[in-house]
Amino acid sequence: MEEPRMHGIFTDADTGRLTYALSLSDSCLTVQRVSSPPSQTPAPEHLDLRDCLGSRAHRGEREDRDAYYLCVYFYPYRRRWMAWGPVRQRDERRFRLVLNSDDNNDDEQEEEDEEEDAKLREAERWARAIRNRPGNTRGVLFSEVRRACGVMVLVNPQSGRGQAMAQYNGHVQRMLTEADIPHTLVITERQNHARDLVRSTDLSQWDALIILSGDGLLFEVVNGLMERPDWEKAIQTPLGILPGGSGNALAASVHHYTRASPVWGEDLLTSCGFLLCKGLVSGLDLISVQLSSGARLFSFLSLAWGFVADVDIESETFRQIGALRFILGTLVRLASLRIYQGKLAYLPAGETDSVSSTGENLLNDHLMAPFGQPVPQNWTLVEEREFVLVLAMFQSHLSEDLMAAPGARADDGIIHLFYLTAGVSRATLLRLFRAMQSGTHLDCGCAHLVYVRAQAIRLEPLSADGVLTVDGERVHYGPVQAQVHRAAARIIC
Ligand SMILES: Nc1ncnc2c1ncn2[C@@H]1O[C@H](COP(=O)(O)OP(=O)(O)OP(=O)(O)O)[C@@H](O)[C@H]1O
3-state secondary structure 83-133: CCCCEECCEEEEEEECCCCCCCCCCHHHHHHHHHHHHHHHHHHHHHHHHCC
Mean pLDDT across 317-346 = 85
Q: Return the pLDDT at 146.
A: 47
Q: What is the CB neighbour count within 10 angstroms for residue 326?
A: 23
Any atom of ligand 1 within 6 Å of the Cβ of 224: no
Q: Return the pLDDT at 373.
A: 97
Closest-lying ligand 1 atom to the alpha carbon of residue 157: 1
Rounded distance from Cα 310 to ligand 1 centre (Å): 18
Dist. CA 33–CA 94, nearest whole Å? 14
pLDDT bin (cut points 50, 70, 90) of residue 36 is confident
Mean pLDDT across 399-420 = 96
Nearest residue by C-alpha to atom 17 in ligand 1? 216
Q: What is the CB neighbour count within 10 angstroms for residue 182?
A: 11
| Nearest by Cα to 181 from 302, 332, 42, 56 | 56
Query: Is residue 215 annotated as part of the catalytic site, yes or no?
Result: yes
Q: In the chain, which residues fall in CATH 2.30.29?
A: 6-131
Whether pLDDT at 299 is above 60? yes
Mean pLDDT rounded to a whole number for the chain:
90
Q: Return the pLDDT at 360.
A: 47
Tell me which fold the domain 6-131 belongs to.
Answer: PH-domain like (2.30.29)
Whether pLDDT at 279 is above 50? yes
C-alpha dihedral (487, 488, 490, 493), degrees to nearest 10: -30
Any atom of ligand 1 within 6 Å of the Cβ of 217: yes
Q: Return the pLDDT at 63.
A: 78
Among 14, 51, 113, 215, the one annotated catalytic: 215
pLDDT in tens, 262-274: 999 999 999 999 9
DSSP count for the chain of H helices, then E strands: 13, 25
Q: Return the pLDDT at 246.
A: 86
Dist. CA 275–CA 322, nearest whole Å? 23
| Polymer length in residues for the chain | 493
Whether pLDDT at 358 is above 60? no
Closest-lying ligand 1 atom to the alpha carbon of residue 399: 26
Mean pLDDT across 467-477 = 96
Phi, psi of 466 (to 5 degrees): 175, -175
Nearest residue by C-alpha to atom 28 in ligand 1? 216
Dist. CA 430–CA 278, nearest whole Å? 39
Q: What is the CB neighbour count within 10 angstroms for residue 174?
A: 16
Mean pLDDT across 300-322 = 88
> Which alpha helices (DSSP H) does 315-351 contain, by range?
324-335
Nearest residue by C-alpha to atom 18 in ligand 1? 214
Q: What's the CATH number for 287-482?
A: 2.60.200.40
Q: In the chain, which residues fall in CATH 3.40.50.10330?
A: 140-283
Q: Return the pLDDT at 257.
A: 97
Whether pLDDT at 130 is above 90? yes
Dist. CA 307–CA 365, nearest whole Å? 28
Closest-lying ligand 1 atom to the alpha carbon of residue 325: 27
Pocket test for ligand 1, best of 159, 186, 212 (most atoms within 8 A of CB): 159
- Quote the pTM value: 0.92
Dist. CA 214–CA 229, nearest whole Å? 27
What are the start-end ranges of the E strands in 311-376?
Answer: 340-348
List CB contacts of 477: < 8 A, sequence separation 6 or more: 461, 465, 466, 467, 468
Q: In the chain, which residues fall in CATH 2.60.200.40?
A: 287-482
Whether pLDDT at 258 is above 70? yes
pLDDT in tens, 137-149: 556 666 555 445 6
Any atom of ligand 1 within 6 Å of the Cβ of 159: yes
Domain covering 140-283: architecture = 3-Layer(aba) Sandwich (3.40)
Among 80-89, 277-286, 361-370, which range has the highest average pLDDT?
277-286
Any atom of ligand 1 within 6 Å of the Cβ of 279: no
Pocket test for ligand 1, best of 153, 154, 155, 156 (most atoms within 8 A of CB): 156
Whether pLDDT at 238 is above 50? yes
Any atom of ligand 1 within 6 Å of the Cβ of 315: no
Mean pLDDT across 45-69 = 91
Beta strand 280-291 with 296-299 is antiparallel
Whether pLDDT at 103 is above 50? no
